[in-house]
Structure 1
């Protein structure tokens, strides 16, 4: 029996399980839930406390496929009650506005606005109800014998070192986690683009400025008007990588946001004290392959997208769809095909999402080194989008999510 850590109930650490899932964010918890429902034993290891995981402010736009997968996992009830279904999104460029009718352009597909924190809370509640094993504050996690037939994971809880033998390891522990770092450098290809700016985000209990999301390109830079509920809004403005949150008062943020938006939208902006402010750098990153022996990478452990296309959590969900199907087929039918194909299947969708997020980012942000020519290219891109149903359909199909 392991003593409680930061409020965690004492738990028995099993000597063996089917799948050790490293990372207790939404992707790891979703995989745990889907495997448990299929009768596949698993254990989740999370480096942070539950309170810390639930305090992280993240994305809030769910693709149709992600919504369907959460329902399949039995965690969609609160999402369906409280989430906001959006059948359109707005693109603004200077003082021009263009509504992309997602439902019309994609045969009825939509997105759901529902915060990642809420998804995580729903998954925790489901794991608790089913008696799932989620071990928090697991330090010094190390993965062993990944290319053999008997991998195992070691870690420390408090002062006690534990070992869990398993069949497979799922690396859902994010960009800085141990999973990808456990793959030898000569067995991994990594592709990266770091953007010369970041996003300054503010969360406030004020009504959204518009009933749908607005992505805005402006000579001052990019802005995004989003929401978490009818009374809570999430806003972003482009900022330099040398900026500090401490230098941004609420008043300065609201003034900058208004200056980035079309005049009619800015006039309706309701301001208020911030709940949270943070700066996020932007990067595109992919690691190939997403499998090394008995280790499978998923989510941010394998890829990062700039948040412009709202693809981060959604890409993690599609990874979990492919990986859960493959693992369940292995345990139920002894079918190894899904495991063998996992990396290629996941990466095919990853690169398409990377392309879309890169396109949204380059079209709407101000790049200091692109000059007047770059600005004219962005103008031409918006003009074409506004005049072409085919271009709008391409945007809509990617935004609601390409099929699994």
Structure 2
């Protein structure tokens, strides 16, 4: 089989890239090691920057998003038991964010592929990359018990942190940077009305808590937990009791409780791999970078990678120019590091770190910065500018 662009991974990055290339008349093939049901079942973030929404519209998959998505033009920042609203439009950004689950984005993109009769090769086993050094990029795998070979001009790895794509870079080419945070997020999804129309980020003396949502009737809540804890230690009753306590008298009594649909613990880390290109092999999304979920940047960074890569690929296949592809890694990484910085700052502002316990000054400085944030128009504008997404 021959194609112009071979893509590994059918998460939002791979699917969006393939769909945008299709709109430009560029062929692509996606190999995915899991089933469609498995990919659809992943519970992930659901805050879309304006630029990501615009890209989904460009890809022709924005109809349901606009019907069901919840537009937010502000967030709450709570500390010392008081919730402070920070608006986005009021900060002259002219932008908003949209609450629409990553699972729904994936479904919409999968449906678009099915509608054009070009589903990914689901359950493609033992995907391997070859021919990069020789200039004959090729993907090989087992599909339905038989060998499948895809000859490509370009290969794009959208296969996540543990995927084969980044591992295929020569070790002397790749540099990696990582910060593992000393805590995780315990998340619960439940069919209960959200406590607020907007997200509330809560700095409590016992740790971080977040009131989020997936729809007008489905809520997503998080609390900071230890990395060595297990989901089995947290009954629904214990979770709700802890959450309500952490949100205090102003917000806590308004929280509706109910049976959890999904409950999980996610570790937090920052990770960046440089460069994001080696010859005809490119990285996009989590295969190249991971951010803490605090700033809601993971999916949006994947989309910005796709934006830069699509521009370069369209130019390459239409004119033969490699300038866009040559600039891809630098352009993408500039935005990645800006988002890594914001997520790092926001995480340090809202979470309890070991130094908070052993050195009281750290906590005092944290509260002082929160006070400055909610009182300073410039500080609010900076948070809003980063949260809604910097321009591509």
- TM-score (normalizing by structure 2): 0.98
Are 1:239 and 2:222 matched, yes or no? no
Q: Deviations over 1:204-248 (max 9, x none)?
A: 000000010001011100001000000000000000001000110
Q: Deviations over 1:286-345 (max 9, x none)?
A: 000000110110000000000000000000000000001110111111121100000000
Of 62, 83, 94 in structure 1, the residue corresponding to residue 80 of structure 2 is: 94
Of 57, 61, 69 in structure 2, the residue corresponding to residue 75 of structure 1 is: 61
Are 1:390 and 2:378 matched, yes or no? yes
Counterpart in the other structure of 1:377: 365
Gaps of 5+ in 2: none
Counterpart in the other structure of 1:142: 128
Distance 2:275 2:328 in 1: 9
Counterpart in the other structure of 1:194: 180
Distance 2:40 2:119 in 1: 17
Moved over 6 A (4+): none
Q: What is the Cα-based RMSD across aligned positions, in Å?
A: 0.8
Counterpart in the other structure of 1:261: 247
Alignment of 1:32-181 (within 5 A): 32-181=18-167
Distance 2:284 2:245 in 1: 39
Query: 2:270 touches 2:292 (CA, 8 Å); kept in 1?
Result: yes
Query: 2:110 touches 2:119 (CA, 8 Å); kept in 1?
Result: no
Q: Deviations over 1:33-92 (max 9, x none)?
A: 001111111000001000000001100000010000000100000000000000111111
Distance 1:148 1:227 in 2: 49
Gaps of 5+ in 1: 1-14
- TM-score (normalizing by structure 1): 0.95
Counterpart in the other structure of 1:306: 292
Counterpart in the other structure of 1:401: 389
Counterpart in the other structure of 1:270: 256
Query: 2:82 touches 2:250 (CA, 8 Å); kept in 1?
Result: no
Distance 1:222 1:368 in 2: 13
Of 310, 315, 318 in structure 1, the residue corresponding to residue 301 of structure 2 is: 315
Of 246, 249, 254 in structure 1, the residue corresponding to residue 235 of structure 2 is: 249
- Cα offset, 1:152, TM superposition: 0.5
Query: 1:94 touches 1:262 (CA, 8 Å); kept in 2?
Result: no
- Cα offset, 1:347, TM superposition: 0.2
Of 326, 330, 346 in structure 2, the residue corresponding to residue 360 of structure 1 is: 346
